[in-house]
Structure 1
Amino acid sequence: MMFTNESSRTLRVRRARYKTAILSFLDGGIWIIATVVASQLRYEFDLTSTDWDATLLLGIGMALFFVIVGFSIGLYLNRYAYGSFDEIRVVTIAAFMTSVIFSLVLLFVGFEAELPRSLAIIAFPLALVAMFGVRYAYRLLIDRNRKPGLVATPALVVGAGQAGEVVVRAMRTDPQSPLRVVGLIDDDVTKKRLQLHGVPVLGGTQDIASVAKQTGAKVLIVAIGDVQQELLRDLTDSGTAAGLKVMRAPTIQRMMEGPIAAQDLRSVSIEDLIGRTAVDTNIEEIAGFITGKKVLVTGAGGSIGSELCVQLSKFGPKELIMLDRDETALQQAQIRSQGNGLLDGEEIILANIREADVIRKIFEDRKPDVVFHAAALKHLPMLEKFPHEAWKTNVLGTLNVVQAAMASDVSTFINISTDKAANPSSALGHSKRVAEKVTAWAAKETGRPYLSVRFGNVIGSRGSMLPTFQSLIESGGPLTVTHPDVTRYFMTIPEACQLVIQAGGIGRAGEVLILDMGEPVKILDIAKRMIAISGKDIEIVYTGLREGEKLHEELVGVKENLERPFHEQISHATVDHLAPENMDLTVWLERMEDEKGTIKT
């Protein structure tokens, strides 16, 4: 095997050198011919007026100079794809330099023979066009030999713009591509007769079904840069209704990084359909309280905590400390943020926030400047059965972390809360509401930005609804929904973490910052879309609302007044503070029972 690999590598090197030699000789020959033709054009094809020896000498000199410049800037070092815009740009630069240098030579140095001083200038466009032609012909030859076979699955591409052109080219020039582009879809009337690499625009988005029937397409590829979720939903619905598998092209940013292939396409996911566009974050505000600081994240092994660690590491903290009670989850967090899972670094701490003395000692030893408190129990039905566990982790655990932060002089503390803390009707909601009040108490005592950030369901987080639905669909169903009218707010994990970090840069002492979640989404609609995407016939069964569960979740409490002084996607509100001496489990349980069921809409 080693011999085969070495032989293959040697063969590839020889082929590359062979191509380089041929291309450099061709370019050199083109310059000699272009110089001769330029001379004939200058003398109106009067052969007797041409000094052939001097003209050929000039042509050879320009050819050698161009090839030397070409090697020096990587033209012949396989640095650029043949026929690409990058290669054309480099060819133009080298040709322009050649023309300028030899025009100066003719102007100030000259030859023994009289040569027209404009000869190098006239030769420049002739050589340039000829070299472009050679590369274009070679590109056509490559493309013709690299087309995917007829056994490849026929596909339609939505979008005849830049992203669509990249996708079509990638599919048309890859003989191993499992997809074969048979048509383009675009609503722009100016592209009605457009063709990309021989693939025509066959209609608009309203014609997807008829075009699919006409071409026999089986796949619909959405190739629109930064496609909005509303449009993606509509295209997915249209494609699914036409019996097509819907896929997404990579982002424009990914396309700019290098060539793409069929493997870079991916199926449209439910996260794509109910997520939202990227958050507009203010890097200066974030860097101001993260860069160069010691940052500690509790619950670092969870879905939110681990993503927080990944994003925080981009802002250059002096030290990123990851704390969790789950050793396996800590390892995964370390892999994502540090690039290894050795579990032997100082950045990971195995501890339980329920143990006050342990947490206090950790804070005393490590002295973090900023704390993101993401550790919590979050499953509503489970905590309804075991409310004491919600109290121990979400309330007392938060108090332990808050008091340790106060004692070790932490400058910024961000408690991650939930929409269920607004007008709570469950043990989960009530426990997180108390955690918000404890954080507000700490802010009152310290005068520092100790604050809470509240948001709704996080798409794809561990144990959340979407992975559960996916597992039920894969197992053949049925898919269980509590109520046909139940709605929830949704946010992607990266979006939630971006806004949490942003909130830390603008939050004020004692506030609850409420992230804009957009419009609530019907769970039934999500279930139907996931079933449609799967292509399976799955039954939906309604189980009824669970104890403590609301029909429509809320983000804002009845007594909370909102303002948005700094960021259009983050609202600010104040909450009552609760001192530790006023915290009582019995009172909490009694109050929760009194309020349970009174707020369920």
Structure 2
Amino acid sequence: MSYSKKLSLFILLDLIIVWFSIYSSYYFRFDESIPSFYVHQCVTFCIVSTVVFTASMFYFKLYNRIWQYASVGEMISIAKAAAWSCVISYLLTCFLTYRVVPLHVFLRTFETTLLLLGGLRFGWRIYTDSYRKKIPTQSKALIIGAGGCGSSVAKRLKANKDSKVYPVAFIDDNSLKHRQEVCGLPVLGNRDSIVEIVEKQGIDEIIIAMPSASKREISKIIEICKTTSASLKIIPRIDDLLTGKLSYNEIRNVEVEDLLGRDPVNLDLGGIAGYVKNKTVLITGAGGSIGSELCRQIARFEPAVLLLLGHGENSIYSIEMELSRRFPTLRMESIIADVQDENRIDEVFGMYRPEVVFHAAAHKHVPLMERNPSEAIKNNVFGTKHVADSADKYGTERFVLISSDKAVNPTSVMGATKRIAEMYIQSLNNSSLTKFVAVRFGNVLGSRGSVIPRFKEQIAMGGPVTVTDPKMIRYFMTIPEASQLVIQAGMFAEGGEIFILDMGKPVNIVDLAKDLIRLSGFESNVDIDIVFTGIRPGEKLYEELLMDEEGLINTNHKRIFIGKPVNLSRASLELAIKQLEKLINEDQMVIRDSLKHLVPTFKNEYVS
């Protein structure tokens, strides 16, 4: 039926309700025998109400509502429209007929009109809610959280006949809601009942609708849900809802990040703004996983100019376009340059004079760098030296090096080169006005070349998922979390420190693989096999975040710590780096011996 036909039908039905309300009010007021004068008044009342009521309904936009989703707001609008139309029609009728309409007639007309108007519309709402049953092709859904968000999700899923899932029950930890119904669905128990309910009800999908819950609580619930055969979905966090990034009806898959149970980082916004706002900020490696996220986070603090420096034009173009869209007033410059090019880096610093530098450009893939040690040295050692020397030369206020847990007692070339980079900026700090610091952390989820994307690719291809060793463990944090803590650590910089981020509990890589397989809707070693391939060159079974001599000092942030600065001679270190530069094209064992000389804790175990 077309909109105009539906509108005409609604208006006609509403007018019939109004006419019936007026006539029945007179009828019962005069005991089924209406005096002739009041018959004339009744007709006048009906004619006046026809015009006034129709205008009132349009004014309150009651013909623009979809009554399938009617709620309290619609009921209030109906009450307003009925009240205004009855009052105005009453006054006009009294004026036109020169006689007061009986008060009983007026009140009964209003009551009947309101009851029938609301009843008609909400009756349709109740009908669609009660009789729109589950379609055989739809999956059964269990909603965890019988609050506002959960009920909203249930309403939308029940009303949408095109939805692939249909809600059948709720789970909620509030015992007062148990054995009650929300949106016509029973609340069957608390989180301890999830496994039993999934089995009894034949649940295909679990939807976690608790956007205000902490990540730690969500993680605990996911751990329970993982033991069932149902697939897992989740409503976005309340932070994303409030900032408008996502809506209540946007249900996403549960990701590995949700399993970590790490709460959002609390930032000292005032302190960060104090050293970033209205400053020229340079980010090297701005197109990479960490570098691009640093750009997104720093852009929020209104730097005077944000310099995006990177070697790959496509990645720099991509982050430039994103920032232009999200921060239209941000002034930024995209710079294509290689940190290995000393003259080019000097030119960039001389032109822009950055006041704050975040050095994220680095080669980080351990097995690749084992096979290409000279490239790791060129980028991670010489590249860091060039950027740090320019920062010193041109009076940069703060220089923050993005380091790695692999720099601690390194067993890989990549780790050794990152340790040398740390050592160099610490030595430079002793004679520079620039505050040089490093921030050391473990693996970040979803970064390029990391384990998560590789596992997902293997699962998408049907397996097997390859794990190097069943005892392999790693520390993980999300890319935004790592970037925010790096920026926060920069605020604490006094010079020479190595900041160490709290990585939480270590994760067993086999368990991680099993979780990813489970979250993808499969069962490990049934649908997707897990195969052990052996530790690769340069890898450790576990990573460390601190060397013995560094100790650990707390900061004002509960997730940032300081490793005590180690006294290093800049002259002797520069001499050793020059010797390393001369040997860069030599045999791998010669290069490794040179790294061992610079980093005594480096375990030089080369496998050809």
TM-score by length of 1: 0.80
- Match in the other structure for 1:560: 550
Aligned mates of 2:240, 2:49 — CA distance in 1: 39
Could you tell me how far apart the structure 2 residues matched to 1:485 and 1:190 are? Answer: 45
Change (3 A) 1:66 1:300: farther
Counterpart position of 2:602: 596
Q: Does 1:535 align with 2:541?
A: no
Amino acid at match of 2:541: L
After TM superposition, give the deviation of residue 483 of structure 1 in Å: 3.3
CA distances 1:494-545 after superposition (whole Å, capped 9, x unpaired)? 2212222333344433333322221222222212322333335244444444
| 2:70 matched residue in structure 1 | 83
**Equivalents in 1 of 2:56, 2:405: separation in Å?**
64
* 1:470 has 2:456 as partner: yes
Q: 1:407 to 1:38 in 2, by over 3 A?
A: farther
Determine if the alignment matches structure 1 residue 387 to structure 2 residue 393: no
Q: 1:412 aligns with which of 361, 377, 398?
A: 398
Higher Cα radius of gyration: 2
For 2:476, the equivalent position in structure 1 comes to 490
Alpha carbons of structure 1 residues 25 and 347: separation in structure 2 relative to 1, 3 Å: farther
Q: Tell me which amino acid in the other structure corresponds to 1:267.
A: N
Cα distance change on mapping 1:270 and 1:136 into 2, 3 Å: same
Mapped contact 2:170–2:187 kept (Cα < 8 A) = yes
- Judging changes above 3 Å, is the alpha-carbon distance between structure 1 residues 181 and 82 closer, same or farther for their aligned structure 2 residues? closer
Residue ranges of structure 1 left out of the alignment (5+ in a row): 1-10
Q: Retained in 1: the 8 A contact 2:437–2:497?
A: yes
Alignment partner of 1:550 is 2:550? no
SS in 2 for 1:180: strand
Deviates more, 1:477-486 or 1:67-76: 67-76
Alignment of 1:252-401 (within 5 A): 252=238, 264-274=250-260, 276-339=262-325, 347-401=333-387
Task: Tell whether the 8 Å contact from 1:248 to 1:268 is kept in structure 2 after alignment.
Answer: yes
Pick closer, same or farther for the CA change 1:363–1:96 going to 2, 3 Å: farther
Measured against aligned partners, the alpha-carbon deviations of 1:94-151 in whole angstroms (never above 9, x if no partner) come to 6677799999x89xx9995446889988977766555443332232344467655222
Residues 558 and 192 of structure 1: CA distance in aligned 2, closer, same or farther (over 3 Å): same
Partner secondary structure for residue 567 of structure 1? coil
Measured in 2, the distance between the counterparts of 1:389 and 1:288 equals 37
Percent identity for Structure 1 against Structure 2: 34
Q: Name the stretch that deviates more: 141-150 or 183-192.
A: 141-150
Name the counterpart of 1:575.
565
> For residue 245 of structure 1, what is the aligned residue in structure 2?
231
Q: How far apart, CA to CA, are the structure 1 residues paired with 2:430 and 2:103?
A: 83
Give the direction of change, closer, same or farther, for the CA distance of 1:118–1:461 in structure 2 (3 Å limit): farther
User: Do the aligned partners of 2:391 and 2:434 also contact (CA within 8 Å) in 1?
Assistant: no
Alignment partner, residue 180 of structure 1:
166
Residue 588 of structure 2 aligns with which residue? none
8 Å contact kept, 2:473–2:506: yes
Which deviates more, 132-141 or 120-129? 120-129
* Residue pairs, 1:413-492, within 5 angstroms: 413-441=399-427, 443-492=429-478
| 1:166 positional shift | 2.0
**Aligned-pair CA distance for 1:418:** 1.7
More displaced 10-residue stretch of structure 1: 576-585 or 48-57: 48-57
Return 474-483 or 491-500, whichever deviates more. Answer: 474-483
Q: 1:31 to 1:559 in 2, by over 3 A?
A: farther
Q: Of residues 178, 191, 194 in structure 1, which corresponds to 2:180?
A: 194
Structure 1 distance, partners of 2:394, 2:469, is 47
Q: Structure 2 CA distance, aligned partners of 1:79 and 1:364?
A: 63
Contact kept? 2:168, 2:185, Cα under 8 Å? yes
Look up the SS of the partner of 2:124 in the other structure: helix
Q: 1:190, CA displacement in angstroms?
A: 1.9
Query: Greater shift after overlay, 431-440 or 302-311?
Result: 431-440
Structure 1 counterpart SS, 2:303: coil
Q: Distance in 2 between matches of 1:591 and 1:207?
A: 60
Could you say what the CA RMSD is over the residues aligned between the two structures, in angstroms? 4.2
* Cα deviations by residue, 1:531-580 (Å, 9 ceiling, x for unpaired): 33333524444444445433332223323344444322222344236565
Single out whichever of 528-537 and 356-365 deviates more from structure 2. Answer: 528-537
Q: Which runs of 5+ in 2 are unaligned?
A: 581-593
For this pair of structures, how many residues does the alignment match? 578
Change in 2 beyond 3 A, CA 1:133/1:287: farther
CA positional deviation for 1:83: 0.4
Q: 1:35 and 1:306, CA in 2 relative to 1: closer, same or farther beyond 3 A?
A: farther
* 1:23 Cα deviation after fit: 5.2
Equivalent position amino acid for 1:159 in 2: G
- Of stretches 223-232 and 552-561 in structure 1, the one that deviates more from structure 2 is 223-232
